Every structure is written in C-alpha cells, then in structure tokens.
C-alpha cells in the first residue's frame, strides 16, 4: 500500500466517472452544508481504497 511519502506531485485528470461520483456526494440529501475540497479529496480516496 502506498504511504504519504510515496505520493508524488504528478498531474492528474478526473474521469467522467470521478465527476459523477463527486456529483453524487454533492447530491446526497444528508449533505446540507457546503463541502470543502479536502472533503471531496477524502471521498475520492476512500472510494479507490474500497
């Protein structure tokens, strides 16, 4: 498993599926407050780990 030390500054582009996933986060009825970028990043990371 990669550690934080192994994370590099590689440019990355989101796919349409990534965008759809992020939109589903924003659409969640339980989400009534604005979401920060860090929360979106954590959600993306949590999805790829599963």
Contact positions toward another protein, by CB under 8 A? 1-2, 4, 6-19, 21-23, 26-27, 32-38, 40-41, 44-45, 47-48
* Residue 17 Cα distances to 1, 5, 35, 42, 46, angstroms: 23, 27, 19, 16, 15
Shortest distance, CB of residue 27 to another protein, whole angstroms? 6
Shortest distance, CB of residue 21 to another protein, whole angstroms? 7
Shortest distance, CB of residue 19 to another protein, whole angstroms? 6
Contact 43, 25 (CB under 8 A): yes
């Amino acid at each position: 498993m990669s550690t934080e030390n192994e994370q590099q500054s590689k440019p990355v582009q989101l796919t349409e599926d990534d965008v759809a996933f992020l939109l589903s986060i924003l659409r969640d009825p339980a989400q009534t407050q604005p979401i920060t970028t860090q929360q979106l990043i954590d959600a993306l990371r949590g999805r790829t780990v599963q």
